[in-house]
Amino acid sequence: MTYILVIDHIATGGAERILIDYYHYLEAKGCKVCVFVLSGHEGQSQWTNGVNVIYGSRIDEDNIIRKTVQQTALYFKLNRLVKHVKPDVVFSFLEKSNLLTSIVRTKAVKVMTVHNVLSIQYTKVRDGFVRKALYGMIRWMYNRCGNVVAVSKQVKDDLVASFGIKSDNIYVINNYVNRGDIRKKSKDTTDNFVFVDGVRYIMNVGRFSNQKAQWKLLKAFSLYVKGENKDNVHLVLMGHGEYIDRLKQLADSLGISDKVTFLPFNVNPYKYMKHAHLFVLSSIYEGFPIVLAEASSLRIPFVGTRKAVPEEMFDDKEFWETCIFDSTTLNADFSTEIHDDERCLAALLKKGVEDEAFRNKILKHTSQWESCNDKLIQFCMYDELCENREKR
């Protein structure tokens, strides 16, 4: 079979990682595969080494007129690629790519994937007319495709409730990982940070951005360690992004700089993650965060926000409720003011670090999901959709 995989960009996000892994999986099966990236350029990502990539444009325009012209040009470029390649499947990731895939002219099977809770992602759209038009476009494009992959139950529920997408069009397929590869890589030695015996490390890995909301974690951590005078607890934040300097300044303002370490993004975060006593996901929203699947594969207890920690990872909903908190502040706040949701997170940090019974229950109640945490299962489910030629 011949595939075209379509994505907005390739940086360090979860959707990009899934695409790259799926590309190599399909190649290993003997399929012909190419990747169409809406914006980017050769050498921008080390993940694309050895990958057959066609770039539609070099940058993503931000001016609305230039963006409209750019999207029109991208449609024609993708259309020409489809005519040339004659794919059996066009498989897309993220909203811009999904829109182009939904309208491109082809008899190929189309599969579109949704990786976020869109109603929360688009709260930043304030204009009522624009918001209504955006919701209408999302409803139109996903209702005309019979193969929509939602990465979690909450993503599917949001598509149905907020956008009116037909439930029968949506298939929930979680993001899994290669456990064996992660455990193997976790045995490597860290080269820019020394983990000290006897210190309990709380860890977060992700882009330093509004969505990931690490400022909440810093404030909650400051409440925990200063209130309890904890000398043996340390916070490690790994990633990169536009908020790095402001987060460092916040840690300084909170008086916890000596207890917080910022590490740059690393292609092998597992050699760091294995030292974590507790993994925390402070994101305002996620679809199905791959980093939690990775933490699960290393059997690290984790806690986080309601919209970031998927319910289906737990076999007991009531216990899941004890591992999450509701994120009530949605906009970045780098002041030292502590909000109620950050106080709730501080209590979760204390429980997740110190309560061994609670920590063991997290591992127990996620063990059933972990038994299925295999990337091959995810990709085999993708294959079933791609081979279903009745739904296009």
Query: Per mean pLDDT, which range of 13-17, 131-135, 252-256, 294-298 is the poorest?
Result: 13-17
What is the set of domains in the chain, with CATH numbers? Answer: 2-176+374-386 (3.40.50.2000), 179-370 (3.40.50.2000)
List all residues 6 or more positions away from 54 whose beta carbon is below 8 Å from its beta carbon. Answer: 34, 35, 36, 37, 81
pLDDT at position 389, please? 54
- DSSP for 226-248 reads HHHT-SSEEEEEE--STTHHHHH
Q: Is the pLDDT score of 390 beyond 70?
A: no
Q: DSSP secondary-structure letter at 299?
A: T
65 vs 353, residue with greater confidence: 353
- Its pTM stands at 0.89
pLDDT at position 325, please? 96
Mean pLDDT of 371-390: 89
Task: Please provide the average confidence, as pLDDT, over all residues in the chain.
Answer: 93
pLDDT at position 392, please? 45
pLDDT at position 12, please? 67
Mean pLDDT of 375-390: 87
pLDDT at position 315, please? 97
- Whether the Cβ atoms of residue 138 and residue 118 lie closer than 8 Å to each other: yes
Distances (CA, A) of 6 to 23, 86, 173, 290: 11, 15, 18, 20
SS3 category, 6? strand
Mean pLDDT of 105-112: 94
Q: Is the pLDDT score of 391 beyond 60?
A: no
Mean pLDDT of 32-48: 88
pLDDT at position 290, please? 94
Percent pLDDT > 70 in the chain is 98
Structure tokens at 255: 């008086």
Structure tokens at 196: 């000290």
Q: Nearest CA to 110 among 138, 144, 79?
A: 144
Q: Are strands 276-281 and 32-39 parallel, antiparallel or unpaired?
A: unpaired
Q: Nearest CA to 6 among 115, 121, 89, 106?
A: 89
Mean pLDDT of 92-119: 94
Kindly report, residue by residue over 310-326, the tens digit of the pLDDT.
999 999 999 999 999 99
